[in-house]
């Protein structure tokens, strides 16, 4: 592929020798990078691995295996691609005593994630009203560059968001109590301390709750095209029904938290970082004040993102209600689940307490775990895999295999594979909209350029990513959705 | 964009990457500011109506200074709703002081990528053919 600007002379990722340890599992052996403390693993089919080899993903994964306190091995998912320091689509567990926590292992958009809302409407009922629906949603959910809400949160309102997350939104009437039960962490990660967040992050965040942002974030009305296992029934998903997917994160707030703490760690732990192969691997050793402070600030950003998605869902329910002339309750608009893609959590795996960093990876806990909501505990945690604009999305279910092999994690979506510049050379926004229109997908976006940059062929094949997750047994297929209408930032 | 405009965008799979140039480090930093906003909008549409002072203390090397300078500009864009099209920069041992000129974001501005963060990824300051070259990846 022509888009690999970082073909590094020091490690030819295309020719790198990997050990095949399963039909869709590979290992980078120790010694590939001198300081590696463990091997590193990749879950991918041959086809996906070929794509992964075209950028620096494998080099970055090997670098991560150099971090102190690494538990078992770092793992990259079928949708992985090159990130900053850590690859995107990676799971890295660092021991809570001998390891540490790294902002780069979580990503700038802390708690970028997805939620899926059910409806009792059939796609056939939604289609005739899709334009009206997207217009209403677009009016009530600000999106795109420089678009904020009209009302700024007061300092105490913002504090409530940072400490309580989605609970804060539900408390002021933006949602139902049962929504919270269907969010990872109940929509509120404990340990958040607003005093650990900079004034700049607060400034950026105070008018961004309830906004979609831009880039790969989207809001989609989808049709359930296919269901696979018995879990579909447990999840209340029925072929032909309409659902709504919201994909966004902690906006400028989370980005500022990440960049503030990268700076703190870089200044404070010069010696530790100088021994690492990449500046973006900066971390705070476990037990230091900086590690605690970052965790507290990160938790604020996690809660900000949960609140953001909750507020957007509230607007979506309102839009449906106005268009269909029925209450959201009457339309059966309950939340299936809300998952984080970029987060660190303290979890116990293989009898060790660790900071599990998921960057572009989804928690996929199996049946019986107390973290899985009561309604799904018998079958396992719902996993939401968003596609890109105009492609399919999936619901998977977490598994025992994921607990054993991937720290209870699986993929997070399609994963970009074409540069924005190349996308702009190949596509025109107007044509993409026409093409998608011909396939029955309506797009609502203020920027033609943004549509061209996010064209469906810029991303890896989501069907293949979901299939490999299923084959590896780390997230099994439950439902495949196809879009009817898209709102892009 | 050509090298004559003071910066040039490079292909990058997921994000925006650019090089900015200058006969002095200050000039290369000013052009890095321009490139950051050129990735978001058409600079020729951004009037220089308002001047904002930016000062950044030096933490360590020039790379950290560049990171902090651009981070500050992203903050001003995202929190204060400003687009800037011109920069004058002064770099000393103590840090950087700059004046950014632009105007509040409005519907008249075409919008491209939304810059969310500056990153350290591949960030470098080098000298090439007598000019300073700043290399930056922006998270969009």
Nearest to residue A257, comparing CAs of A148, A342, A354, A164?
Answer: A342
Whether A86 maps to a domain, the answer reads: no
- At A422-461, the pLDDT tens digits run 888 889 999 999 999 999 999 998 888 888 888 888 888 8
Residue A5 lies in a domain: no
Its domain, for residue A344, covers 91-488
Residues of A serving a catalytic function are 412
Q: What is the pLDDT of residue A145?
A: 64
Question: In sequence order, which residues have a C-beta less than 8 Å from that of residue B106 and are 6 or more positions away?
Answer: none
Q: What is the CATH number of the domain that holds A276?
A: 3.90.1860.10
Within an 8 Å CB–CB cutoff, is residue A7 touching chain B?
no
Nearest to A43 by CA among A84, A87, A12, A108: A87
The per-residue pLDDT for B114 is 83
What integer pLDDT is reported at residue B140 of this predicted model?
86
A38, part of any domain: no
CB-nearest to A84 from B9, B116, B121 is B121
Specify the number of domains making up chain A.
1
Say whether A81 and B40 touch across the interface (CB within 8 A). Answer: no
Interface test with A, best of B14, B84, B136 (most A CBs within 10 A): B14
Query: Residues in chain B with pLDDT < 70?
Result: 1-4
The CATH classification number of B17-139 equals 3.55.10.10
CB atoms within 10 A of CB A474: 32
Instruction: Give CA angle at B43 (B38, B45), nearest 5°.
Output: 145
Burial A476-485 (b: 16+ CB within 10 A, else e): bbbbbbbbbb
Decide if A31 is inside a domain: no
The answer to whether the Cβ–Cβ distance between B139 and A449 falls below 8 Å is no
Question: Which residues on B lie below 8 Å from A200 (Cβ)?
Answer: 75, 79
Distance from CA of B130 to the nearest CA of A (A): 24
Q: How many CA atoms lie within 13 A of A133 on its CB side?
A: 25
Nearest-Cα residue of chain B relative to residue A425: B11
Per the CB < 8 A criterion, the answer to whether B92 and B29 are in contact is no
Q: Residue A422 and residue B9: Cβ atoms within 8 Å?
A: no
Q: What is the pLDDT of residue A4?
A: 37
- Mutation target for B interface from A57, A252, A446: give the one with most B CBs within 10 A: A252
Provide, as residue numbers in chain B, all residues whose Cβ is less than 8 Å from the Cβ of A109. 116, 139
- Looking at residue A6, its pLDDT comes to 39
Task: Flag residues of chain A having pLDDT under 50.
Answer: 1-9
Chain A within 8 Å of B139 (Cβ-Cβ)?
A: yes
- ipTM reported for the complex, 2 dp: 0.92
- The answer to whether A35 touches A277, Cβ cutoff 8 Å, is yes
Q: What are the angstrom distances between the C-alpha of A416 and each of A81, A368, A457, A460? A: 7, 34, 9, 6
Domain-by-domain residue ranges, chain B? 17-139
């Amino acid at each position: 592929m022509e888009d690999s600007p970082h073909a590094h002379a020091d490690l030819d990722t295309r020719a790198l020798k990997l050990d095949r340890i399963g039909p869709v599992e590979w290992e980078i052996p120790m010694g590939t990078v001198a300081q590696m403390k463990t091997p590193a693993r990749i879950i991918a089919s041959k086809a996906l691995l070929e794509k992964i080899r075209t950028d620096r993903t494998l080099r970055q994964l090997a670098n991560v295996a150099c971090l102190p306190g690494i538990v078992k091995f770092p793992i990259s998912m079928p949708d992985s691609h090159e990130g900053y320091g850590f690859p995107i689509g990676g799971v890295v567990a660092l021991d809570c005593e001998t390891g540490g926590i790294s902002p780069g292992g979580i990503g700038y958009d802390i708690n970028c994630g997805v939620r899926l809302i059910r409806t009792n409407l059939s796609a056939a009922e939604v289609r005739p009203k899709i334009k009206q629906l997207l217009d209403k949603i677009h009016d009530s959910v600000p999106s795109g560059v420089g678009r904020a809400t009209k009302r700024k949160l007061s300092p105490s309102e913002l504090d409530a968001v940072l400490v309580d997350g989605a609970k804060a939104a539900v408390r002021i009437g933006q949602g139902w109590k049962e929504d919270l039960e269907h969010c990872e962490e109940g929509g509120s990660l404990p340990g958040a301390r607003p005093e650990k967040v900079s004034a700049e992050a607060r400034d950026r965040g105070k008018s961004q709750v309830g906004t979609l942002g831009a880039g790969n974030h989207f809001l989609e009305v989808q049709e359930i095209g296919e269901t696979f296992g018995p879990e579909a029934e447990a999840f209340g998903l029925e072929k032909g029904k309409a659902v709504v997917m919201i994909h966004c994160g902690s906006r400028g707030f989370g980005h500022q938290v990440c960049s503030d703490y990268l700076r703190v760690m870089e200044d404070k732990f010069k010696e530790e970082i100088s021994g690492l192969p990449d500046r973006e691997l900066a971390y705070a050793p476990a037990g230091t004040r900086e590690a605690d402070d970052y965790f507290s600030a990160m938790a604020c950003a996690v809660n900000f993102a949960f609140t953001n998605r909750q507020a957007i869902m509230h607007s979506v329910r309102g839009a449906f209600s106005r268009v269909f002339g029925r209450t959201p309750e009457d339309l059966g608009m309950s939340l299936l689940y809300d998952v984080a893609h970029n987060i660190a959590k303290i979890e116990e795996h293989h009898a060790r307490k660790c900071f599990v960093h998921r960057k572009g990876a989804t928690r996929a806990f199996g049946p019986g775990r107390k973290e899985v909501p009561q309604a799904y505990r018998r079958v396992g945690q719902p996993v939401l895999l968003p596609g890109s604009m105009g492609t399919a999305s999936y619901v998977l279910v977490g598994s025992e295999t994921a607990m054993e092999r991937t720290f209870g994690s699986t993929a997070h979506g399609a994963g970009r594979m074409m540069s924005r510049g190349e996308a702009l050379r190949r596509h025109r926004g107007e044509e993409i909209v026409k093409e998608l229109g011909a396939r029955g997908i309506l797009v609502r976006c203020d920027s033609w350029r943004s549509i061209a940059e996010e064209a469906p062929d810029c991303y890896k094949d989501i069907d293949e990513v979901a299939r490999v997750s299923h084959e590896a047994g780390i997230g099994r297929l439950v439902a495949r959705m196809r879009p009817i209408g898209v709102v892009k930032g | 964009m050509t090298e004559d405009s003071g910066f040039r965008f490079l292909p990058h799979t997921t994000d925006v990457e650019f090089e900015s140039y200058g006969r002095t480090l200050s000039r290369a930093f000013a052009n890095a500011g321009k490139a950051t906003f050129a990735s978001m909008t058409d600079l020729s549409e951004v009037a220089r109506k308002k001047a904002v002072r930016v000062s950044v203390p030096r933490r360590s090397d020039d790379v950290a200074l560049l990171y902090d300078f651009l981070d500050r500009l992203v903050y001003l864009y995202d929190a204060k709703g400003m687009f800037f099209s011109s920069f004058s920069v002064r770099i000393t041992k103590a840090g950087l002081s700059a004046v950014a000129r632009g105007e509040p974001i409005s519907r008249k501005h075409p919008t491209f990528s939304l810059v969310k963060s500056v990153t350290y990824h591949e960030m470098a300051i080098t000298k090439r053919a007598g000019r300073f070259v700043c290399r930056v990846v922006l998270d969009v």
